[in-house]
Amino acid sequence: MSYFRRKVGRLLRGTDVRINGNRPWDIRVHDNRFFRRVLGGASLALGETYVNGLWDCDALDEMTTRLLRSGLERRIRSFAVALDMIVAKVVNLQNPRRAFAVGKKHYDIGNDLYGKMLDSRMIYSCGYWKDAKNLDEAQEAKLELIGRKLGLERGMRVLDIGCGWGGTAEYIAQRYGCEVVGITVSQKQVEYAKERASGLPVEIRYQDYRKVSERFDRIISVGMFEHVGARNYATFMRKTRELLEPDGMMLLHTIGGNRSVHQGEPWISRNIFPNSMLPSIRQVAAASEEVYVMEDWHNFGAYYDKTLLAWVANFDRDWEEFADGYGERFRRMWRYYLLTSAAGFRARKNQVWQILLSPRGVDGGYVSVR
């Protein structure tokens, strides 16, 4: 047995994950280069070696959940991770010039793929499964929850920052009779959302949030704050405050992490969401201090596990339709992304927050909606 294999085996002690075991969450190694690479590259190498076929696991989500719960990621760090941390502190990776990179890398890969994987409104964020029986119901419940939290009324003007494929804007216009402006950094999303919103009081723009200049009664940002970056959190808060009417409110829906960081998870940042990172409670609070009154903070991160597994099921069901166009390497990368992300929420390392903010406080106090 090689030195590198023995060392990986020692690291896995206490995780309940074995090398070449017979349980669904055990790692089956096909190429011994796996051991050296993982020791040198940590989580980045773990993902890269999986995508390249050096190892397999029948239950990636269960394997990753066990690794995360054991705290293994704190015991093994790589030079690449350290370098990413330095770069993130020195360079504003989410400045206006770089803002559109994630659109090209991730959201523009194919509306056909997302159309099959997501719900009927193509909502690419955590569903609200409290009383839902399926993905469509969970996403509809989430949109209704947002509308109720914001007290949306006919005639209000709403800004949807990170509008995706237009499903949220469509719902708000149809359900509440609001006028909606949706902005996104994905050209493919703009094309699709404009078609979806045809005939409704909805305007879709290919635009960075820093370039918006009008006033709105309400602002919604769902699943976009993860792309803002720690160096820009305060800018985001000040900018959205500038765009809100004095008696307005903003609902910020974001994935969050349990500790403050200045860079994203290395494999995700390099392969899925470039220049992304998860905010912490401390970072959100510091950025909003003296800008907003925090009216409500709701965590339903455990529901993202179920949402991601629903997306995986849809992706697997329809994969043959996309196999020729995307290829086997993409299939492995995409499943690794979805299943290891589910593990992050199952292990409670990642959260989903809906944070309600007002410029000067709701008269008489805000009544929480769940």
What is the CATH classification number for the domain harbouring 189?
Answer: 3.40.50.150
Strands 244-257 and 216-222: parallel
User: Does 370 fall in a domain?
Assistant: no
In a domain, 150, yes or no: yes
The answer to the question of residue 84 being in a domain is no
- 366 lies in some domain: no
Residues 66 and 106 in one domain: no
- 199 within a domain of the structure (yes/no): yes
Please tell me the predicted confidence (pLDDT) of residue 105: 86
* Contact (Cβ atoms closer than 8 angstroms) between residue 82 and residue 271: no
pLDDT for residue 78: 46
Q: Which band of pLDDT confidence, cut at 50, 70 and 90, is reported for residue 80?
A: very low
Q: Are residues 64 and 132 in the same domain?
A: no
Residue tagged 């051991």 (tokens): 35
Domain end position, chosen among 14, 45, 77: 77
182 and 98 part of one domain: yes
Closest CA to 165 of 196, 126, 144: 196
Is 220:247 a contact under the CB 8 Å cutoff? no
Are 7 and 119 in a shared domain?
A: no
How many domains, the chain?
Answer: 2
> Measuring CA to CA, which residue among 76, 62, 52, 51 is closest to residue 21?
62
Residues 23, 147, single domain; the answer is no
Instruction: Give the separation between CA 17 and CA 165, rounded to whole angstroms.
Output: 39
Clarify whether residues 50 and 144 are in a common domain: no
Yes or no: say if 53 and 33 are a contact pair by the CB < 8 Å rule: no
Question: Do 258 and 317 reside in the same domain of the chain?
Answer: yes
Do 53 and 100 fall within a single domain?
no
Q: Does one domain contain both 70 and 159? A: no
Q: Which of 50, 77, 104 is the last residue of a domain?
A: 77
In this prediction, residue 281 carries a pLDDT of 98
Q: Which domain holds residue 154?
A: 92-358
Residue 91 has pLDDT above 50, yes or no: no
Confidence of residue 99 (pLDDT cuts 50, 70, 90): low
In a domain, 87, yes or no: no
In a domain, 365, yes or no: no
Could you say which of 77, 101, 130 is where a domain stops?
77
Residue carrying the six token digits 């349990």: 258
Tens of pLDDT, residue by residue over 283-307, are 999 999 999 999 999 999 999 999 9
Q: Do residue 41 and residue 104 come from a single domain?
A: no
Residue 157 lies in a domain: yes
Among the residue ranges 79-83, 171-175, 320-324, 337-341, the one predicted with the least confidence is 79-83
Does residue 4 register a pLDDT over 90? Answer: no
- Amino acid 314: pLDDT: 98
Residues 191 and 314 grouped into a single domain: yes
Question: Is the domain of 212 the same as that of 69?
Answer: no
- In sequence order, which residues have a C-beta less than 8 Å from that of residue 93 and are 6 or more positions away? 87, 229, 231, 275
Mean pLDDT for the chain? 92
Residue 130 in tokens = 């409290």
Position 9 scores a pLDDT of: 87
- 3-state SS of 174-218? HHHCCEEEEEECCHHHHHHHHHHCCCCCEEEEECCHHHCCCCEEE
Residue 277 to residue 258: CA distance in whole angstroms: 12
Question: Hey, what amino acid is at 122?
Answer: M
